[in-house]
Amino acid sequence: MIGNVIVGQSGGPTSVINSSLLGVFKTAKDRGAKKIYGMLHGIKGLLDDQYVDLAEKIKTDIDIDLLKRTPSSYLGSCRYKLPEIEGNEETYQKIFAKLDVLGIKYFFYIGGNDSMDTIKQLSDYAALVHSDISFMGVPKTIDNDLAVTDHTPGFGSAAKYIAATVKEIIRDGLVYDYPTITIVEIMGRNAGWLTASAALAKGEDCEGVDMIYLPEKVFDIDKFMARVRKISVAGHSMVIAVSEGIKVEDGRYVFELSDHVEFVDAFGHKQLAGSAKFLANKIGSELGIKTRAVELSTMQRCAAHMTSRTDITEAFNVGGAAVKAAFEGESGRVVVLKRISDDPYMCITETHDVHDIANVEKKVPLEWITDDDYVTDELIHYIRPLIQAELSPIMVDGLPRHLNVNF
Ligand code: F6P
């Protein structure tokens, strides 16, 4: 008989992470799992006995349709780092005791490279104590910075939102007969995949952004200011995409050059915000040009009305593939996507050792970034299939309807 299942969501949310939750839930149910629990706020919630019986929450086809279209983590999230095993066995004993009480044989964690650290630690401990519980990682992150996998679920929808929003910002930003400058700040931490998706805005109906700055390259403020000065003196308006993670030569983030909020999470990540504002203020005060800073911030990771159907389908598939692999005896592995064809676009799922994925950041290759502050066609071709097709929200009273777990 199939043992019980527990699933959690961890790290920053995406607009399709609940599709992965559904992939785990439906596949485990269809394959005969008796109980499927959901940890509230990830592993942190499990430690505090916070979990729900998912069958009591997701009952009808309408619930499924709504959950699929509900952005952000239905079960809540956490940024919680498990301690090293050595010297902290008590924490692990506590977790495994809780899993035993619930009769758990399969543990699924939907998250990015930090969250995969949790799967690594738990599967290492399981091996140490000869536990037969399977621990599997289900990939997600808008940042697309997970190693090994072609891309991560969540990225395509965020990229679609960014490209669509940038198109709209360009329409607005070029409207006056005098030069204005709009700087759009995009998430992604130390990887520029999301910022690069601003390039997708360019097409026969859109001029595209003027410049794109990714964190993979040192940001040279003097060069940037000289370029802005030259273009604006010629009377042109500009829309510029910058990553939240751009850094200057001495290693400081651009936003750290002015007043900023200092917040560091459990994995040592600084809260990155304010680079666009800093640059817009600098241009405004030094060049006397009208500027605006637009921080896409959390909007880019919860824009379920702009979901890519390709993304949402893959998000479901990776959840299902994790269950299949675990039920067939795998543990300590992460489901990854492998692109087997570009035209037509096609990806399959495989699994890979979590040790190669946890805590590793996959960056944009430098050869995909051009010397004139833009990105190559190769990078655009890589992203474009991931934003294809749509899934309409279920509208109630003029607004998208969501499903809430009610913590
Ligand atoms: O991990 C995804 C991400 O959205 C990053 O792009 C961003 O820097 C970070 O999360 C923000 O995290 P938080 O919501 O914890 O501030």
pLDDT in tens, 203-246: 999 999 999 999 999 999 999 999 999 998 899 999 999 999 99
Which atom of ligand 1 lies closest to the CA of 114? 1
Looking from the CA of residue 265, the nearest atom of ligand 1 is 15
How remote is the CA of residue 228 from the centroid of ligand 1, in Å? Answer: 29
Question: Residue 195 Cα, ligand 1 centroid: separation in angstroms?
Answer: 14
Q: Compute, in angstroms, the gap from residue 349 CA to the centroid of ligand 1.
A: 25
Indicate which residues carry an active-site annotation.
143
The answer for residues whose C-beta is within 8 angstroms of residue 222's C-beta and 6 or more apart is none
- Which are the contacts of 211, defined by CB distance < 8 A and separation ≥ 6? 224, 227, 238, 240, 241, 373, 374
> Ligand 1, atom 9: nearest CA belongs to which residue?
12
Percentage of the chain lying above the pLDDT 70 cut? 100
**Mean predicted lDDT score pLDDT of the chain:** 97
| pTM reported for the whole predicted model | 0.97
Ligand 1 pocket: which of 116, 140, 189 to mutate (most atoms within 8 A of CB): 189
At 259-276, the pLDDT tens digits run: 887 899 999 999 999 999
> Within 13 Å, how many C-alpha atoms sit on residue 176's CB side?
14
pLDDT digits (tens, 9 = 90+) for 187-209: 999 999 999 999 999 999 999 99
Ligand 1 neighbours (beta carbon < 6 A): 11-12, 79, 112, 141-143, 187-189, 244, 265, 271-272, 301
Residues in CB range of 262: below 8 A, 6 or more apart: 270, 271
Q: What is the predicted pLDDT for the residue at 2? A: 83
Q: What is the structure's pLDDT at 407?
A: 73
DSSP string spanning 115-167?
A: HHHHHHHHHHHHHHTT---EEEEEE--TT---SSSS--TTHHHHHHHHHHHHH
Nearest atom of ligand 1 to the alpha carbon of 244: 8
Q: What is the CA radius of gyration of the chain?
A: 22
Nearest atom within ligand 1 for CA of residue 194:
6
Which residue has its alpha carbon closest to ligand 1 atom 1?
Answer: 12
Q: What is the pLDDT of residues 121-173, one digit of tens each?
A: 999 999 999 999 999 999 999 999 999 999 999 999 999 999 999 999 999 99
Expressed in angstroms and rounded, the spacing between residue 142 Cα and the centre of ligand 1 is 9
Residue nearest to atom 13 of ligand 1 (CA): 12
